């Protein structure tokens, strides 16, 4: 579990090496294993036989995060509080043995794993840009449990610690040095251990700032009038951005403010109280379920056809050097693949490479990449206007204009140079894959890969199989998505696929409210207060009213005589046809767009959609927005458009911005309560019509299918 080595300079090296695991996990086992070690270190110090301690790992990772299986099932705040207190005692015992302690970070150190390093007096890491460290807990609805918030506050000050904790970023070693959470870097393990030892020998009398009677928090405390005012502004901005729907984010700023006015020991205990409250909150359970367990399930192959070996692409062809194609190129480069980037002319293709270069520069500025990485990355991209450059590509991704004839033309040109095993993928929003595949020379190798914009930032990609697409091609497309760090969601070739089809219901519900006499500003605000990233009218403009209507027309074709026209359609047709306000691309829609892309709600809306509602049921408005999406997702599951609730949850929160605090479209039912959800649907159906009918799939849904298998 822990290897103990002592050298002639009385420096002890503790090597973490949990048996039976590929990585080290900070749980009760390793805490228990440390207890006798720390007691022995105290005895050694008392005997004058200890000059310092180095903690490192025998595994590829330094130390993983805590036990999420246990946390997900933790319901009692008292137990959560006690667990946090036990971890804090362990870290405090490590921190105060009376000798300097150095963390030699040889691999990833995240969450509670990084808390161990924060309890050390000195932190040095390998200068490997692939390593990651930091506190990403907030992304799954948690806050650190071992006092990291208090330690970082004392180390960095409130205003520097707050964004670091709130963003939940995983820092490269170079970034970590910049933000001040580690002290130094080393080229290799030998140098790292040597420099850690040298620091220990040169720094005998070490004391943490919070243990120094004269120590103070950098930048002051919340009791200082100026800083207190800035903290109130930060809190107001957070509330405006999140509508206080994410308990962990609010807990961070509140704990920093309160903890700064207390002595370390009291703040340390207060930290455990905040943790207990957050860890047992239903929102946290939702987020752990989706952002951890569902994500692991998809990465593990949920939706991928079985029986096919892993596909490893080496060279990727990309057709279209616009923002989407260049974003995909950047993804491929940063994950070690070679890229052929083609467009209609060499200058346009070269501009795509310039976009990639600018994106690399952004990451260099942050510290994710190093300056010497730039040329190495760009050396793997070739720009061209000739299709014969695709001859050695394992997969070609087409990302051109949403036009069938254009897509067909570039597909045929590329396929002439591909071998029988190469995959051809199209990034399309609305054209059926089956229809496009009919024009392919090898329809069995033709598949949809729907990237969300911006491609380099969004986490999911829809893998769409046409009627002729082989299972092996789907498996290969799935593997390619995983290789560029995407979450592949396998969906059927149906209108709007999954994401756009469900998102459209949110847009249509907002436009329906406009027709019903609700103020446009209220509609937008209620959408955001429900937790959506943007209001429905904003999204309508961004997608384009023509496309919103096209999806509804495709729904009419799909359902035939069973189709009931959505009440939003007349308003959409008025805007598109009579008023000629088709969306952001034309700079006029529900909003007016100025030259700097600043948007304002069109002042003429009230003339065509008079405000008649003087009394608003805000809860009902929010329910309409969210229930419309959940119900449509249920129809998609019932019709086999998507086959796994895990994939549906991830596609919803990452793909189009369904509220993350709910855990996604299917997890929402779990937290709302199955029967409560059905009853509410009946109320909405009676008031607003058939679109709130509960699909059979959702009526018969077993809530146990929405809880993670751990």
CATH number, domain at 456?
3.40.50.720
**Residue 507 sits in a domain of what CATH number?**
1.10.1040.50
One domain, residues 8 and 120? yes
**Residue 272 sits in a domain of what CATH number?**
3.90.226.10
One domain, residues 570 and 698? yes
Of 280, 300, 329, the domain-final residue: 280
Judging by DSSP bridges, how do beta strands 446-451 and 423-426 pair with one another? parallel
Residue 291 inside a domain? The answer is no
One domain, residues 227 and 327? no
One domain, residues 568 and 421? no
Where in the sequence is the domain holding 512, given as residue range(s)? 499-706
Residue 143 inside a domain? The answer is yes
Q: What does pTM read for this prediction?
A: 0.93
Residue 661 inside a domain? The answer is yes
One domain, residues 487 and 503? no
One domain, residues 486 and 524? no
The 3-class secondary structure across 629-643, one letter per residue, is HHHHHHHHHHCCCCC
Of 233, 255, 280, the domain-final residue: 280
One domain, residues 119 and 29? yes
Q: Where are the beta strands (DSSP E) in 442-558?
A: 446-451, 460-465, 487-492
One domain, residues 268 and 219? yes
One domain, residues 697 and 579? yes
The total domain count for the chain is 3
One domain, residues 124 and 258? yes
One domain, residues 268 and 321? no
Of 492, 524, 549, the domain-final residue: 492
Q: At how many degrees (to 10) do helices 77-95 and 264-279 cross?
A: 140
**What local confidence, expressed as pLDDT, does residue 257 receive?**
98
Residue 304 inside a domain? The answer is no
- Residue 378 has which token pair? 């760009």
Residue 307 inside a domain? The answer is no
One domain, residues 596 and 515? yes
Phi, psi of 673, deg, nearest 5: 100, 125
Number of Cα atoms under 13 Å in the Cβ half of residue 498: 39
**What local confidence, expressed as pLDDT, does residue 709 receive?**
66
The Cβ of residue 370 has, within 10 Å, a number of other Cβ atoms equal to 14
Alpha-carbon distances, residue 14 vs 161, 181, 547, 672 (angstroms): 29, 21, 61, 48
Residue 276 inside a domain? The answer is yes
CA 4 to chain centre: 38
Mean pLDDT in runs of 10 for the chain (710 residues)?
90 89 74 83 88 94 84 93 93 86 96 94 94 95 96 97 95 94 96 97 88 93 96 96 96 98 97 97 96 95 96 97 96 96 97 96 86 92 96 96 94 95 94 94 96 92 96 98 97 94 97 97 97 96 95 91 94 96 95 90 96 92 98 97 96 96 96 96 97 96 75
Residue 298 inside a domain? The answer is no
**What local confidence, expressed as pLDDT, does residue 710 receive?**
55
Residue 296 inside a domain? The answer is no
């Amino acid at each position: 579990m822990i290897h103990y080595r002592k050298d002639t300079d009385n420096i002890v090296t503790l090597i973490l090496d949990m048996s039976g695991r590929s990585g080290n996990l900070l749980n009760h086992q390793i805490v228990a294993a440390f207890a006798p070690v720390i007691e022995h270190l105290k005895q050694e110090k008392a005997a004058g036989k200890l000059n310092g301690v180095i903690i490192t790992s025998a595994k590829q990772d330094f130390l993983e995060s805590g036990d999420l299986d246990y946390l997900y099932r933790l319901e009692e705040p008292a137990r959560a509080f006690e667990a946090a207190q036990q971890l804090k005692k362990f870290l405090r015992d490590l921190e105060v043995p009376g000798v300097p302690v150095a963390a030699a970070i040889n691999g990833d150190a995240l969450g509670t794993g990084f808390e161990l390093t924060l309890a050390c007096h000195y932190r040095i890491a390998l200068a490997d840009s692939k390593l990651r460290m930091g506190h990403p807990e907030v992304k799954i609805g948690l806050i650190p449990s071992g006092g990291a918030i208090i330690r970082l506050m004392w180390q960095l000050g409130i205003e520097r610690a707050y964004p670091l904790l709130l963003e939940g970023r995983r820092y490269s070693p170079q970034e970590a040095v910049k933000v001040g959470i580690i002290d130094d870097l080393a080229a290799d393990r030998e140098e790292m251990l040597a420099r850690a030892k040298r620091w220990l020998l040169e720094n005998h009398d070490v004391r943490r700032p919070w243990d120094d009677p004269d120590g103070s928090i950098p930048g002051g405390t919340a009791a200082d009038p100026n800083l207190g005012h800035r903290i109130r502004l930060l809190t107001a901005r957070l509330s405006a951005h999140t509508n206080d729907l994410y308990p962990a984010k609010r807990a961070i700023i509140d704990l920093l403010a309160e903890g700064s006015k207390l002595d370390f020991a009291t703040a340390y205990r207060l930290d455990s109280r905040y943790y207990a409250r957050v860890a047992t909150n239903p929102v946290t359970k939702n987020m752990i379920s989706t952002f951890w367990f569902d994500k692991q399930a998809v990465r593990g192959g949920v939706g991928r056809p079985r029986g096919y070996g892993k596909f490893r692409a080496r060279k990727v062809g990309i057709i279209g050097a616009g923002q989407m194609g260049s974003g995909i190129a950047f993804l491929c480069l940063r994950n070690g693949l070679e890229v052929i980037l083609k467009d209609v002319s060499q200058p346009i293709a070269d501009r795509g490479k310039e976009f990639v270069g600018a994106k690399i520069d952004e990451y260099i500025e942050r510290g994710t990449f190093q300056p010497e990485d730039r040329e190495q990355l760009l050396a793997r991209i070739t720009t061209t206007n000739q299709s014969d450059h695709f001859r050695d590509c394992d997969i070609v991704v087409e990302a051109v204009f949403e036009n069938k004839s254009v897509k067909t033309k570039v597909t045929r040109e590329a396929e002439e140079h591909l071998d029988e095993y190469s995959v051809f993928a199209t990034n399309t929003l609305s054209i059926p894959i089956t229809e496009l595949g009919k024009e392919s020379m090898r329809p069995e190798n033709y598949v949809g890969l729907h990237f969300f914009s911006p491609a380099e930032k969004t986490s999911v990609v829809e893998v769409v199989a046409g009627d002729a697409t082989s299972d092996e091609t789907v498996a290969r497309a799935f593997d390619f998505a995983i290789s560029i760090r995407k979450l592949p969601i396998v969906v059927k070739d149906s209108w709007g696929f999954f994401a756009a089809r469900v998102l459209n219901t949110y847009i249509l519900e907002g436009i329906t409210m406009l027709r019903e006499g609700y103020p446009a500003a209220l509609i937008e605000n209620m959408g955001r207060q429900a937790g959506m990233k943007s209001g429905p009218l904003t999204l309508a403009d961004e997608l384009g009213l023509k496309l919103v209507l096209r999806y509804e027309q495709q729904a009419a074709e799909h359902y035939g005589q069973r189709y009931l026209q959505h009440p939003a359609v007349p308003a959409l047709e008025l805007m598109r046809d009579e008023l000629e306000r088709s969306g952001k691309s034309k700079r006029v829609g529900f909003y007016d767009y100025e030259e700097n892309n600043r948007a304002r709600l069109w002042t003429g809306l009230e003339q065509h959609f008079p405000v008649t509602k003087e009394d608003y049921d805000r809860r009902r408005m929010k329910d309409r927005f969210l229930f419309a999406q959940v119900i449509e997702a249920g129809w998609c599951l019932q019709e086999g458009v998507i086959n796994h609730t895990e994939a549906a949850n991830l596609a919803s929160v990452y793909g189009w911005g369904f509220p993350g605090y709910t855990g996604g479209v299917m997890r929402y039912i779990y937290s709302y309560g199955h029967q409560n959800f059905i009853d509410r649907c009946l109320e909405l159906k009676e008031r607003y019509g058939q679109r709130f009918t509960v699909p059979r799939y959702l009526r018969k849904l077993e809530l146990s299918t929405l809880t993670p298998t751990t």
